[in-house]
Structure formats: structure tokens, C-alpha cells
């Protein structure tokens, strides 16, 4: 049989995009894990998913709500693209509690998780010639997904010496008339910081001055445990329009449910007037939906999850963050520059020249995986070379063990004095 000519071929854009995903990067690091050979159980501090640990198990009222939704047989149908009304209303009410204005169910669009919300927003706002402002370091899904969009990316810095605040001068220098939006993540992933009221107000004023909207990624909303309260960016929605991303994944510790939302927190109605809200709706009509059975459970999830559950999770995170921050000081040649105040992550700086045979952050993570059976996330993948991102959302014993292993690793690889 002669060589057949086939009409189909690879889509190279996709490869470029996918190289940047968390899963891809973690997979390549995890290829080096061999529990048998290292004789230790694997420790995974590479992603924000503590659902495997008993102490982080979601509230039974959450499970009950979903079981009820399934058993009712009322939610086996297709949902509307924007989501079913009871779920939208429940989230609108939930979010309005922390805002100086009410948002309606028409301002809430349901998505299959925070990542899906990012996909939708970049699709809606994307057009040739436009650009978008991303933080550096950033949550990798933005970087992956934007490569698959006509948008040009420009990075502004988060300043480690200022608790990871946004370099607003840098933002102003980057923006032009084709800039559509600025993305911020608060509480911060990967930095673990929480923005102050004053700083957020300045961000809003800057956005207004530049004529851009704010995408406020608040998947870690309320997961704060130091002295800074969580403030939704929507509070400043009357200064510049804000699109708020949220999800069940972190606060309720169910990342596998893939349920999130985009909320229009824009009291002056600019996003409706300019047609962005309508475009969101259209995009969701075509795009995949979060399962109706999960949507059906949302009112009960929001209503019935006891405050004590959230307080307990935050307490565990607080203790973990504090313990991590203290103990990492004992590990040579790495520095956690800012005590984590929120989310599940913190950034740790590597002193690469002090190591004998480690060339960069990816090398560090790969060797750490091989030798200590431990996974953390290389900073290059969050756009900050020679740092690493570590999750502290794990059981205390696991976290202690992790730091011990890091210490042993760093001592072993240190340049001789």
C-alpha cells in the first residue's frame, strides 16, 4: 500500500499553549517520583488541592446538598448557558453580602470552575490587536489559555519587597489604547498575599485612568488568616468595571467539582452598555456547562455550610502557613520572603549560586522529586525564575516532613564552604 496523503495535521498553537499548563509541568516533574526507590511516601505540594487530607474534607452539608440534588431527579436536564436561576440567585446573594450594592442573578454566570471562567473571559475579550495585562508571577492557566487567543500579553510586576503589591507605575507604562484589562489574583496565587483597601483603590483608579476593566480572580476569597481582611474588588466597581471570578473549589475544598462563576460587579453598568455582558452570555451559550446536578445543589451548599467549617479550614491554613514560614527559615539557601496571609500558596526564593549542581528552579524541583519524593512547582512556570511555589495546604505532619526533606536536600546540594 502506497503512502496515503491525509488532509488533517497538527495544530501547533495548541502545543504552545498546553506546554504551560500546571498539569503538564507537574506531570513532567512527577515522572521523577519513585516511592519504592526513595523509600518514602510521595508529598505533593505542587497544587492547591488538599482534598486528599482528612482534615480538609468538605463539610457533610455540602455532600448532602449534592445528594439531594441528584435524588430529586429535577436536575438531570440541560441547563441554560448562563446557569440555572436558583444557583445564580444564591451566588448573587452570597456575593452581595460583601459589596456596598446588590448584584442580581443576571450578573452571575456559572462556569465549570475557575479555569473555565478564565477560558471564557479570554475568549470574550480576545480580539486581534488588543493586549491584556497579567501579573508576574501569575497563575499558569492564564498564560496557557492566552497563548490560544489573539491577545498580546504584557506583564507587570508584583513587588516582593512590598509584600507582592502591584507595581502600578509599571502598569501605567505598559498600557495603551488597545489594552482591554488587568488581571489580579486576590488572595494571591502564587504569592499568598492579601491586598489592602488602599492599594485596591489605587488599582481601580489606575484602571479607570487607563480605560480598562479589572479581572479579579477571587477563587481564594475569604481564605485569609493574618491581619488583612479579604475585600472583594467589586467594592471598587464604581471606579472601574470589575469582573469577579469565584469558585467552590477552594473555600469548600472540592476542586474536583469544577464549579465556578463570573460575576459582573459593575454598578455603573458599563459592561452591559459596552456589550461585554452580552458577549459573555453568548460565549456561555456555545461553551460547555457545569453539570446541572451541581448547579441544583448550590442554594443548599451556600445556605447550609456552617460558618464553623470555614473557620476550621482557615484555622488549619493559618497554622500551616505559620509553621511553614517559621520552619523554612531552617532550610539553607532558600527564603520565604513574605509570610503568607491567604490562599494556599507561598513563593520561596532560591539562592541558586549557593548550590553546587543546581542550575535553576526547574532543575531544583526535578532533583527534589527524584531524591526526596516531593513535588513543588517551579517558579518559571509562574513566570518567576529561580523561585518555587509551595502549597502549605496539607496535614501538619506532612508539611513538617516536607520541610525536613527540603532541608536535607538543600544541605546535600549546598556548595562546600
Partner 1 sequence: MEMENGSSPAKSWGFRANPELIMSSDNTVRGVLYMIRSKLNQLDTRPIIPLGHGDPSAFPCFRTTQVAEDAIVESLRSAKFNGYSPTDGILPARRAVAEYLSKDLPYELSPDDVFLTLGCVQAIQTIITVLTNPKANILLPRPGFPHYEAFAKACHLEVRHFDLLPDKDWEVDLDSVNTLADENTVAMVIINPGNPCGNVFTYQHLQKVAETAKKLGILVISDEVYDHLAFGKNPFVPMGTFGSITPVITLGSISKRWIVPGWRLGWLVINDPNGILKQHGIIDCITAYLNISADAPTFIQGAIPDILAKTKDDFFLKIVNIIKDCANICYEGIQDVPGIICPTRPEGSMFVMVKLDLSIFVDIKDDVDFCFKLAREESVIILPGMSVGLNNWLRVTFAIEPSALEEGIKRLKAFCERHSKKP
The single residue among 71, 227, 357, 417 that binds partner 1, judged by CB under 8 A, is: 71
Q: Is 3 in the site for partner 1 (CB under 8 A)?
A: no
Q: Between residues 8 and 36, which has the closer beta carbon with respect to partner 1? A: 8
Q: Judged by CB under 8 A, which stretch of 111-119, 324-332, 379-387, 398-406 contacts partner 1? A: 111-119
Minimum separation from the CB atom of position 31 to partner 1 (A):
13
Q: Is 18 in the site for partner 1 (CB under 8 A)?
A: yes
Q: Is 126 in the site for partner 1 (CB under 8 A)?
A: yes
Judge contact between 348 and 379, C-beta under 8 A.
no
Judge contact between 361 and 387, C-beta under 8 A.
yes
Q: Judged by CB under 8 A, which stretch of 178-186, 193-201, 315-323, 379-387 contacts partner 1? A: 178-186
Determine the Cα–Cα distance for residues 231 and 314; give it in Å rounded to an integer.
Answer: 16
From the number of C-beta atoms within 10 Å of its C-beta (0-12, 13-18, 19+), residue 404 rates as middle
Q: Between residues 284 and 406, which has the closer beta carbon with respect to partner 1? A: 284
| C-alpha distance across the termini of the chain, in Å | 67
Say how many residues touch partner 1, by CB under 8 A. 94
Minimum separation from the CB atom of position 367 to partner 1 (A):
24
Q: Between residues 71 and 161, which has the closer beta carbon with respect to partner 1? A: 71
Q: Judged by CB under 8 A, which stretch of 7-15, 163-171, 218-226, 328-336 contacts partner 1? A: 7-15
Minimum separation from the CB atom of position 303 to partner 1 (A):
19
Q: Judged by CB under 8 A, which stretch of 253-261, 303-311, 335-343, 397-405 contacts partner 1? A: 253-261
The single residue among 154, 250, 251, 258 that binds partner 1, judged by CB under 8 A, is: 258
176: which residues sit within 8 A by CB, 6+ positions away? Answer: 131
Judge contact between 32 and 369, C-beta under 8 A.
yes
Q: Is 289 in the site for partner 1 (CB under 8 A)?
A: yes
Grid coordinates representing 266 are: 459593575
235: which residues sit within 8 A by CB, 6+ positions away? Answer: 98, 99, 100, 200
Q: Between residues 188 and 255, which has the closer beta carbon with respect to partner 1? A: 255
Q: Is 287 in the site for partner 1 (CB under 8 A)?
A: yes
Which positions from 190 through 209 interact with partner 1, judged by CB under 8 A? 208
Candidates 361, 346, 349; CA nearest to 391 is 346
Q: Is 259 in the site for partner 1 (CB under 8 A)?
A: yes
Q: Is 78 in the site for partner 1 (CB under 8 A)?
A: yes
Q: Is 254 in the site for partner 1 (CB under 8 A)?
A: yes
The single residue among 70, 153, 168, 226 that binds partner 1, judged by CB under 8 A, is: 70
The single residue among 31, 35, 152, 178 that binds partner 1, judged by CB under 8 A, is: 178
Looking up cell 542550575, which residue turns up? 359
The single residue among 43, 92, 141, 224 that binds partner 1, judged by CB under 8 A, is: 141
Q: What are the DSSP calls for 117-151, one per residue?
A: HHHHHHHHH--TT-EEEEEES--HHHHHHHTTSSP
Q: Is 150 in the site for partner 1 (CB under 8 A)?
A: no
Minimum separation from the CB atom of position 301 to partner 1 (A):
13
In a 3-state reduction of DSSP, which class is residue 205? Answer: helix
Q: Is 210 in the site for partner 1 (CB under 8 A)?
A: yes
Determine the Cα–Cα distance for residues 232 and 361; give it in Å rounded to an integer.
Answer: 33
Grid coordinates representing 306 are: 456552617
In a 3-state reduction of DSSP, which class is residue 228? Answer: coil
In a 3-state reduction of DSSP, which class is residue 81? Answer: coil
Q: Judged by CB under 8 A, which stretch of 140-148, 342-350, 360-368, 378-386 contacts partner 1? A: 140-148
- E-assigned strand segments in 213-279: 213-217, 242-247, 260-265
Minimum separation from the CB atom of position 60 to partner 1 (A):
9
358: which residues sit within 8 A by CB, 6+ positions away? Answer: 350, 352, 364, 367, 413
Which positions from 361 through 390 interact with partner 1, judged by CB under 8 A? none
Determine the Cα–Cα distance for residues 66 and 228; give it in Å rounded to an integer.
Answer: 33
The single residue among 29, 58, 89, 403 that binds partner 1, judged by CB under 8 A, is: 58
Amino acid at each position: 500500500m502506497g503512502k496515503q496523503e491525509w488532509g488533517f495535521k497538527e495544530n501547533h498553537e495548541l502545543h504552545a499553549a498546553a506546554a504551560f499548563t500546571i498539569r503538564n509541568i507537574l506531570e513532567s516533574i512527577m515522572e521523577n517520583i519513585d516511592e519504592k526507590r526513595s523509600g518514602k511516601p510521595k508529598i505533593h505540594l505542587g497544587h492547591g488541592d488538599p482534598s486528599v487530607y482528612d482534615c480538609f474534607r468538605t463539610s457533610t452539608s455540602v455532600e448532602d446538598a449534592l445528594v439531594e440534588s441528584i435524588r430529586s431527579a429535577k436536575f438531570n436536564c440541560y441547563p441554560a448557558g448562563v446557569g440555572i436561576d436558583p444557583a445564580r440567585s444564591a451566588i448573587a446573594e452570597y456575593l452581595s453580602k460583601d459589596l456596598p450594592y446588590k448584584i442580581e442573578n443576571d450578573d452571575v454566570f456559572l462556569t465549570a470552575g475557575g479555569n473555565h471562567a478564565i477560558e471564557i473571559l479570554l475568549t470574550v475579550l480576545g480580539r486581534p490587536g488588543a493586549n491584556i495585562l497579567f501579573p508576574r508571577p501569575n497563575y499558569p492557566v492564564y498564560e496557557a489559555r492566552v497563548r490560544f487567543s489573539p491577545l498580546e500579553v504584557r506583564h507587570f510586576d508584583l513587588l516582593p519587597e512590598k509584600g507582592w503589591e502591584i507595581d502600578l507605575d509599571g502598569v501605567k507604562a505598559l498600557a495603551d489604547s488597545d489594552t482591554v484589562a488587568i488581571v489580579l489574583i486576590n488572595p494571591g496565587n502564587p504569592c499568598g498575599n492579601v491586598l489592602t483597601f488602599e492599594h485596591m483603590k489605587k488599582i481601580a483608579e489606575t484602571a479607570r485612568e487607563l480605560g480598562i476593566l479589572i479581572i479579579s480572580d477571587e477563587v481564594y476569597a475569604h481564605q485569609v488568616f493574618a491581619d488583612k481582611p479579604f475585600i472583594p474588588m467589586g467594592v471598587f466597581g464604581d471606579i472601574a468595571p470589575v469582573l469577579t471570578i469565584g469558585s467552590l473549589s477552594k473555600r469548600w475544598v472540592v476542586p474536583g467539582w469544577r464549579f465556578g462563576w463570573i460575576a459582573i460587579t459593575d454598578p455603573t453598568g458599563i459592561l452591559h452598555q459596552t456589550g461585554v455582558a452580552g458577549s459573555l452570555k453568548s460565549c456561555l451559550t456555545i461553551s460547555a456547562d457545569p453539570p446541572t446536578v451541581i448547579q441544583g445543589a448550590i442554594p443548599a451548599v451556600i445556605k447550609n455550610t456552617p460558618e464553623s467549617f470555614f473557620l476550621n479550614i482557615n484555622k488549619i491554613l493559618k497554622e500551616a502557613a505559620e509553621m511553614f514560614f517559621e520552619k523554612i527559615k531552617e532550610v539553607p539557601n532558600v527564603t520565604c520572603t513574605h509570610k503568607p496571609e491567604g490562599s494556599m500558596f507561598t513563593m520561596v526564593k532560591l539562592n541558586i549560586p549557593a548550590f553546587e549542581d543546581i542550575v535553576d528552579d526547574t532543575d531544583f524541583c526535578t532533583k527534589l522529586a527524584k531524591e526526596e519524593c516531593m513535588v513543588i512547582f517551579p517558579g518559571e512556570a509562574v513566570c518567576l525564575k529561580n523561585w518555587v511555589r509551595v502549597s502549605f495546604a496539607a496535614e501538619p505532619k506532612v508539611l513538617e516532613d516536607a520541610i525536613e526533606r527540603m532541608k536535607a536536600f538543600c544541605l546535600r546540594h549546598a556548595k562546600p564552604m
